[in-house]
Amino acid sequence: MDVQNKSQLVHSTERVDSFLGGKLGIIQSTEYFTLSVDALLLANFIKLPKGNKFKYLDFCSGNGVIPLLLSHRTEAPLNGIELQEPLVDMARRSAKWNGKEDQITFVQGDINDLKHTQGQLYDIISCNPPYFLAESSNATHRLTSHAIARHELMLTMEQWVKKASQIMREKGKLFIVHRPSRLDDLIETLLNHHFSIHRIQFIHPKKDMNANGVLIEAIYRGGRRGVKIEPVIVVHEDNNEYTPTLMAMYNGE
């Protein structure tokens, strides 16, 4: 797609941010929840099978950043589901911007409405869900879109974990980014729905600060074979610059 046609994909309130050393452009708008480091970390944490035969779905896909990032690691079809129609539209336009519209499909819908279909069971599901309990928040963001993205107003942990268990193949893998403050709830919910915890990796804002994020790989009916704790990821140097690890992720190295 030429530059002029690409420009028509971007609305006046939007911008295109560059990732993977300029190989990927993602349309974003401050009117909606924009890409966070968490999404980049989750995409990097996901292990994809060899070949292109697996079925993949991204829950709470937002503006489509995780499937878009993964599209540079596989030629397999990728799918995302997002509740908010404007974000779905943005994700679809980002797919066109990158020439990935034939590989990535974004649908608008409620995860709770997904049906169990034997021929459509997924091998991999990723989820960057709302982190915070609605009743525990003193004040949500002034924009409803931000509130839905950050708080369990439309989708609870119990709901998305249960749905993943209903539409995933046995031994399928669920990749999650969340907050350590919810880790006990998350592990309990996963175990209740027959997921075993396979890998955990903690995210620290700086090397001398407590973790503020956690990445989890869980296997559906995978059996409990022990948990692998990966080396921690540190996001910022003391001078607030990104660490070499984060810069390598941004640049796709």
CATH architecture entry for 3-251: 3-Layer(aba) Sandwich (3.40)
**For 236-249, how does the pLDDT look when each residue is reduced to its tens digit (9 = 90+)?**
999 999 999 999 99
pLDDT band at residue 150 under the 50/70/90 scheme: low
- Closest alpha carbon to 157 in 186, 128, 197: 186
DSSP state of 236: B
Q: What pLDDT score does 30 carry?
A: 75
Phi/psi of residue 67, nearest 5 degrees:
-60, -35
* Chain segment 52-72, per-residue pLDDT in tens: 999 999 999 999 999 999 999
Q: How far apart are CA 225 and CA 231, in angstroms?
A: 19
Residue 236, both tokens:
């910022």
- pTM for the model stands at 0.89
Domain range annotation of the chain: 3-251
In degrees and rounded to multiples of 5, residue 93 shows phi and psi of -70, -35
Name the band, by pLDDT with cuts 50, 70 and 90, for residue 153.
low
Alpha helices by DSSP H, listed for 121-178, are 144-150, 157-167
Hey, what are 78's tokens? 């990728």
pLDDT, one tens digit per residue, over 205-226 is 999 999 999 999 999 999 888 9
3-state DSSP call for residue 137? coil
